[in-house]
A = this chain, B = another copy of it.
Amino acid sequence: MRVEPFPDRLARACREKGTSVCVGIDPRVRMLPQEFRPNHDSPRAQAEAVAGWTRALLDVVAPLVPVVKPQVAFFEALGAAGWAAYHETVIAARARGLVVVADVKRGDVGSTAEAYAEAHLELVGADAVTLSPYLGRDSLEPFLVHCRLRGKGVFVLVKTSNPGGAELQDLDAGGEPFHLRVADLVDELSRDAALVGDCGMSAVGAVTGATYPAELALLRERMPLAPFLVPGYGAQGGTAQDCAAAFRADGLGAVVNSSRGLTFAFRSGDHAERFGDQGWRASVTAAVVAMRDALAAAVPAHGP
């Protein structure tokens, strides 16, 4: 049986849900709704609390969005039990039909990269991972094997949404910012025919922050086959309009992530008043719907 290429699965999921919203899952224990707060401070108790919350969160978001992005750092901070919770979260998300992008930002030499690919794409079973490009193409290639043979995907950091990202990423490198040279590497890798799906997009994607809207259009031109994972929406300041240039004319080509702005909206502002801790599920739903509608107004509609 032919394995469905990652970009086709991603496009299908976005069409089915009618949106490209990605829910970032950053389990900060202190932010969890009261019903999930652990009784004591041990990493195991905290990891169990996190696993309970992610299952409940996935029940809320699975009908609404195509993709979730667990941030592995918050699971690692809870040790081996946290790793088990991460694994459970990925399994639970896939069981609910969600595409899972594990936000791991790994980057290491050949055989070590292969161990990371085995860990996150196979053992844990994520559909895709985020990768850091600093070690060059031999640090990325071991993941591409899993893309070609197993329908997996990668999103390589190109232009990140954090304030300090520009410091190195925007250094002049031969007349253009360094991150455009990284974009050229991603573009080259994305053109491998074995990685391109029927939808015309590749299994090799890029992380391109919403907080730099002027560059998104340029990056879309430079990497026409790469799906974009766009962080920085909401809490980090990016708007739906900022994200529009990441998409193709057919409404595909990007997923836009928001994490605490969706999952922990009930902790601040008008959501704290309207929903509060007990109403966290309704708060998540309202925040996701608002983001979906904002994106729908700014971004071309998905094709059939």
Contact = CB atoms under 8 A, between A and B. Distances in A.
Given A73-B119, A132-B132, A174-B172, A161 B80 contact: no
Interface stretch (A106-114, A192-200, A212-220, A243-251): A106-114
B80 A84 contact: yes
Contact of A136 (B28, B81, B111, B167): B167
Interface stretch (A11-19, A177-185, A221-229, A284-292): A177-185
Contacts of A136: 162, 164-169
Contacts of A174: 171-172
Contacts of A139: 162, 164
Nearest to A138: B164
Contacts of A133: 134, 168
A76 B76 CA distance: 10
Contact of A79 (B28, B87, B160): B87
A242 B185 CA distance: 30
Given A84-B80, A106-B105, A134 B115 contact: no
Nearest to A124: B79
A95 interface: no
A25 to B, nearest CB: 12
A41 to B, nearest CB: 12
Contacts of A161: 109
A239 to B, nearest CB: 19
A57 interface: no
Which has the most chain B C-beta neighbours within 10 Å: A71, A134, A157?
A134
Interface string A133-144: 111111100000
A303 interface: no
Given A77-B123, A107-B105, A137 B115 contact: no
Contacts of A132: 105, 107, 132, 134
A171 B167 contact: no
Contacts of A106: 73, 105
A111 B103 CA distance: 14
Nearest to A168: B136
A135 B116 contact: no
A26 interface: yes
Contact of A138 (B43, B137, B157, B162): B162
A226 to B, nearest CB: 17
The 4 lowest CB-CB distance pairs between A and B, nearest first, are A136-B164, A138-B164, A136-B167, A80-B84
26 contacts: A73-B106, A73-B108, A73-B119, A74-B112, A76-B115, A76-B119, A77-B115, A77-B118, A78-B119, A78-B123, A79-B84, A79-B123, A80-B83, A80-B84, A107-B132, A109-B162, A109-B165, A110-B162, A135-B164, A136-B162, A136-B166, A136-B169, A139-B162, A167-B185, A168-B181, A171-B178
